[in-house]
Amino acid sequence: MAGRKGFDIVVVGAGHAGCEAAAAASAMGLRTCLVTIHLETIAQMSCNPAIGGLAKGHLVREIDALGGLMGLLADETGIQFRLLNRSRGGAVQAPRAQCDKAAYRLAMKHRLERIANLSIFQGIVAQVVVKKGAAAGVRTIDGTFLPAKAVIITPGTFLNGLIHIGLHSYPAGRANEPPSVELAEQLKKLGLRILRLKTGTPMRLDRDTIDWTAFTPQPGDDEPVPFSYRTRGPLKNKVDCHLGHTNAATHAVIRRNLAKSPLYGGKIKGIGPRYCPSIEDKVVKFPERARHQFFLEPEGIETTEVYVNGLSSSLPYEVQREILDTIPGLDQAKIVRPAYGIEYDAVSPTELFPTLETRKIRRLYLAGQINGTSGYEEAAAQGLMAGINAALAVKKKQPFVLRRDEAYIGVLIDDLVSSGVEEPYRLFTSRAEYRLMLRIDNTDRRLMGYGRELGLVPDAVWGEYLAKQERIAKAAAFLKKTRVKTEAGDSLSLCEFLKKPEIRLEDVLKWSEFPGALSDEESRFLESETKYEGYIRKQEREIAKAARADSMKIPGGIDFGRVPGLTREAVEKLEKKRPTTLGEARKISGMTPAAVQNVGLYLEILRKKGAQRPPVPRGTGPDDE
């Protein structure tokens, strides 16, 4: 454990955020300690046994390209793999895997245990020790002090966690695990703005008590697509998921028992996510729907537990039982763990810099569910970024912040820190302005260079990446150069053919053979780049233009009232928020693009005039010490 000099970095909580943070920080050469309540629950998937999906699968790829662990372990412990939206364009395809939960936990634990300068320590953190406005370590409830130069807090749903089943409730961080009360209270005292949020999880059933003939099997893909650039060898599907539906009788049971729901009974105050509605919510909000679908997903190979994706609920156990009774095939099923809802504290992410460091306390980083997000992938992505930035800060290096146009991670963190959250935040591809550019087939091109620079991408992976880029470049040139005659007699390049919506790369290569083999991944990349080309070029121009404008500094003493052509409302907003760059001004809600442009023009006036600029107020970013 702690050497005499203490640690460089302490990470609190070994969930999906904490594990990535600890792994990244230690891989960057820092002495790191990961403190968590139970070593058995390291990287526990609290809810569904799946990783990935639209936007989330994109995140996992990005984590992987930056040297994170989630993708590699999901591939390793996956038991069913699907590429979603396979029939659609490359930008909206994303991998998802059903994982063996127990195997995932163990795989992560083993991997962390093998990292040389990472210590793992079991303990409940009660307090962040703050000295002179900066985090200096943590203290556990048994009084142990772990000194550190930076602290990353990732306690998931544990802060003042309160579990609801029906009208009963009890304090817990996750089913039957202790909540973090002291830590929650201290964060409040440190002046961080606290939100109360809510989420829920469905019941788990005993596989052997389900009549499987009543459900439609959903097999995995024939040729599974891995998350990770480091995964070798083919992935194997080992289980099927199954599709089922609720019916009128189910809905009647739910309606009859709504008063017993803590939410509809008014007991839950926290705000829940709309995109993970409980079955109660679905029935109430969409009364016209005769049925709702659900999936039966195995929780692993060595267990008979089955997760009922779609029946999340916080109704009492007896009602959950009654619900199952109405569904043919589940009427005999045994509930091994009841569904429950949980309320917990989170910190408003507007308290954070884009590095995930708090604005109020230096060297204190927050990542994962605590920042108002939900989902393993969102947590892991933040954990990775917090780990990297804490490490960079300790090393006194420039912070690492991704832009919205280069990664979903950039979209995620920017959304969080600049707009805050009102309900648990989940990433969607439609949150990205440049969706056609943020694809799984170009993630390495977008991000692996950064990962390499940070020291998180091993030589072998980097070497393969370079070789792949060379193949791609050759193939792209070949597609441009090679021309074929159409039936009408004109000559078209393979590239131009490939632009047609129904044409795939394999089709054009039938007309003219490419000397060299391309992987599926490489083909997908070439297809996307060709089919989206016009849009991509246009977006690149927009990005370049916006970047130039957004980076424009707004002097501290500027009088917005003197900016020509602004409405009074715009002036008031600007005076109130006092943005320091044009980019920040743009983000103020209600600012029109025209108003922002006027501010930009005015700034250029000031600059050209060489007017005295008052110094820009100093940020408290990790790099200024």
Of residues 280 through 339, those in contact with ligand FAD by CB under 6 A are none
Closest approach of other proteins to the CB of residue 85, in Å: 5
SS3 content of the chain, % helix, strand, coil (to 5): 40, 20, 40
Structure tokens at 55: 């936007």
Span from 7-15, 24-32, 85-93, 452-460 in contact with ligand FAD (CB under 6 A) = 7-15
Amino acid at 286: F
Rounded to 5 degrees, what are φ and ψ at 119? -100, 140
Q: How many CB atoms lie within 10 A of CB 116?
A: 8
482 contacts ligand FAD (rule: CB under 6 A): no
Of residues 30 through 49, those in contact with other proteins by CB under 8 A are 48
Contacts 24+ apart (CB under 8 A), 253-256: 253/319, 253/322, 253/323, 253/326, 254/279, 254/280, 254/283, 254/315, 254/319, 254/323, 255/283, 255/284
The whole-angstrom separation of Cα 190 and Cα 496 is 60
**What beta strand segments (E) does 221-362 contain?**
241-245, 293-298, 305-309, 335-337, 340-347
Of residues 310 through 329, those in contact with other proteins by CB under 8 A are 310, 312
Among 52, 137, 155, 298, binds ligand FAD (CB under 6 A): 155
> For other proteins, which is the closer residue by CB, 150 or 427?
427
What's the chain's length in residues?
625
91 contacts ligand FAD (rule: CB under 6 A): no
285 contacts other proteins (rule: CB under 8 A): yes
Closest approach of ligand FAD to the CB of residue 615, in Å: 38
The whole-angstrom separation of Cα 267 and Cα 262 is 5
154 binds, among other proteins, ligand FAD, none (CB under 5 to 8 A by kind): ligand FAD
37 contacts ligand FAD (rule: CB under 6 A): yes
Among 36, 389, 429, 523, binds other proteins (CB under 8 A): 429
Closest approach of other proteins to the CB of residue 428, in Å: 5
Span from 100-108, 372-380, 462-470, 509-517 in contact with ligand FAD (CB under 6 A) = 372-380
Structure tokens at 147: 């000194």
Of residues 531 through 590, those in contact with ligand FAD by CB under 6 A are none
Containing 204, the helix (H) or strand (E) segment is strand 204-206
The whole-angstrom separation of Cα 297 and Cα 320 is 18
Q: Give the number of residues in contact with other proteins, rule: CB under 8 A.
A: 56
Among 358, 369, 429, 482, binds ligand FAD (CB under 6 A): 369
**What beta strand segments (E) does 100-201 contain?**
118-122, 125-131, 134-140, 145-153, 162-165, 168-171, 194-201
594 contacts other proteins (rule: CB under 8 A): yes
Contacts 24+ apart (CB under 8 A), 574-577: 574/599
* 3-state SS assignment for residue 129: strand
Between the alpha carbon of residue 114 and those of residues 7, 102, 161, 492, 598, the distances in Å are 18, 19, 32, 55, 56
Closest approach of ligand FAD to the CB of residue 138, in Å: 8
Asked if 80 and 232 count as a contact pair (C-beta separation under 8 A), the reply is no
Among 400, 462, 514, 535, binds other proteins (CB under 8 A): 535
14 binds, among other proteins, ligand FAD, none (CB under 5 to 8 A by kind): ligand FAD
Among 234, 501, 515, 614, binds other proteins (CB under 8 A): 501
162 contacts ligand FAD (rule: CB under 6 A): no
Applying CB under 8 A, the residues found at the interface with other proteins are 48, 54-55, 84-85, 87-89, 91-92, 202, 273-277, 282, 285-286, 289, 292-295, 309-310, 312, 428-431, 435-436, 501-502, 531-532, 535, 549, 562, 564-565, 590-594, 597-598, 600-602, 604-605, 608-609
Contact residues for ligand FAD (CB under 6 A)?
Answer: 12-18, 35-38, 41, 46-47, 124-125, 154-158, 173-174, 180, 183, 199-201, 276, 342, 368-369, 374-376, 379
